[in-house]
Amino acid sequence: MKTFKILGVISGLFMAGITAYGQSPTNVKRDVAKGEGKGFAVLELFTSEGCSSCPPADDLMARLQQEAAGKAIYLLAYHVDYWDRQGWKDTFSNAAYSERQRQYGEWLNKPQIYTPQVIVNGKAEFIGSEESTARHAIAKQLNTHSSVELSIQAKQENNHLNVQYQVVAAPKGSALVIAVVQKTAHSKVTRGENAGRSLAHVQIVRKLQIQSLNSKGMGTVRVALPQDFDTQNFEILGLVQNINTGEILGAASAVRLSKGIPRTAR
């Protein structure tokens, strides 16, 4: 695990739009159980191609991705940019994702940020390669009822997406987070801690946009798409987040972009 001291306080990040080691245990349950409590689990991994402790966390995300089909489990991998100064510039790094991690550090009262780090539903954090901890956290959240309902539909228009959303029962101080997520990718690293390795990635956040919810709880968000976007290897995820505490209150994915049919979690 690599740690970085937070230098300064992040404020106001969620009030504006952003366009922009641990080893895996050997004796853990391999399947993610279906929840009976109408809950959902959002796992946000902060990772980097320049971090030698991160590939095990990326591998865990890949296993969870395979098991999450048909379940209210939403996976996002943010490639931070502060590792880019350590010998290798991450193919998918973005300063906005480092800022999001620092914001979580403030919300969760954690004085340091590190990779690989996982945040679950904006409420708990742990080392991203801790498989048993991750599975326990997922099971707990799937069995925790949520009263907030989010649905999203996405329609592509040239190099943008028009994402229609509707939110029910979101409290004041909530924001809508829209993430354009690439399902799989591979990179060959030639420098830094992972020099000579071919790395596999899943659920890579390529675009992130955040905005306050209006009083009607519905509207349309226009999101710029990466140049290599295609409907087969990308998905659109939506989160409802408390901007004061960081807690994720609801989540949904528009998994069939061409038809705009959303999957909803409550």
pLDDT attached to residue 27: 44
Q: How far is CA 49 from CA 85, 127, 140, 189, 211, in A?
A: 12, 16, 30, 7, 29
Q: Contact, 174 vs 167, CB < 8 A? A: yes
User: What would the CATH number be for the domain defined by 2-6+14-24+33-264?
Assistant: 2.60.40.10
- Burial class (CB within 10 angstroms; exposed 0-12, middle 13-18, buried 19+) of 121: buried
> What's the pLDDT band for 108 if we cut at 50, 70, 90?
very high
**What are the domain boundaries of the chain?**
2-6+14-24+33-264
Question: pLDDT tens digits, residue range 180-193?
Answer: 999 999 999 999 99
Q: Report pTM.
A: 0.85
**Sign of torsion, CA 130 73 241 95?**
positive
Q: Which amino acid would we find at residue 192?
A: G
The two structure tokens encoding residue 126: 């742990």
Inter-axis angle of helices 131-142 and 55-67, to 10 degrees?
40
Q: Is the pLDDT of residue 25 over 90?
A: no
